[in-house]
Amino acid sequence: MEVGSSFWRRFALMMAGVLGMGVFISLLLEVGYGTDTCSFMNSSIATSLTVGLGPVMVCLNIVLFIPQLLWGRRMIGVGTLANVTHPYPRVGACKSSG
């Protein structure tokens, strides 16, 4: 695979989108609007276990990543790996403590 300027442009846009996901999930939780169903489930699990939302989301994404490794390996790319791990630690970091 040749890495040209098109790759870096797409990579920058992907990273902006992934960072935005973490920030905006935090914002939606802060204002009390809720999030999508998967994030809501993760938020409930995190509250029940008294751990942060970010680690719960990373763990669930890793569990959901296993079938993709088994049956969809050729579809995994940089975006997949970034989406599995990157935005969710920011969810906890962007939330206020009070």
Average pLDDT of span 16-21: 83
Closest CA to 89 of 44, 64, 55: 55
Assess whether pLDDT exceeds 50 at residue 90. yes
Q: Which residues, 6 or more positions from 58, have their beta carbon under 8 angstroms from its beta carbon?
A: 84, 85, 88, 89
Q: What angle do CA 47, 61, 21 make, to 5 degrees?
A: 80
Q: How far apart are CA 48 and CA 70, in angstroms?
A: 31
The pLDDT tens digits of the residues spanning 27-86 come to 887 887 777 777 788 888 888 999 887 788 888 888 888 998 999 888 888 878 777 766
The model's pTM is 0.59
